[in-house]
Amino acid sequence: MSGTGERGSATTKTPADFLKSIRGRPVVVKLNSGVDYRGILACLDGYMNIAMEQTEEYVNGQLKNKYGDAFIRGNNVLYISTSKRTLADGA
């Protein structure tokens, strides 16, 4: 990320722009509890409520659960990060 928002017109500038740009992308969502959710970000709202697809739940780095669809209540969210990790191709 470059320091000033006015440079680099190709990069996203504000947090809102970032959030808009990552729909449909693979993400990692970390909760305040430390639990990670990896999956495809379907959508989110102003409360940072999140809808995800093909979600995997990691507790202490270990896969604990899988959810086809998952709604995460925004107040639990510490951060949302795009992940390079490619999910299984197709579908």
In DSSP terms, 26 is beta-bridged to: 40
Q: Which amino acid is at 90?
A: G
User: Minimum distance from CB of 77 to another protein (Å)?
Assistant: 10
Evaluated on CA atoms 68, 88, 24, 82, the torsion sign reads positive
DSSP state at residue 21: H
Task: Rule CB under 8 A: say whether 27 interacts with another protein.
Answer: no
3-class DSSP state of 49? coil
* List 7, 43, 81, 82, residue binding another protein (CB under 8 A): 43
Using the contact rule CB under 8 A, the part of the chain among 1-9, 10-18, 30-38, 79-87 near another protein is 30-38
Residue closer to another protein (CB basis): 7 or 66: 66
Task: Give the interface segment with another protein, choosing from 8-16, 68-76, 80-88 (CB under 8 A).
Answer: 68-76
45 binds another protein (CB under 8 A): yes
Q: Coil, strand, or helix at residue 67?
A: strand
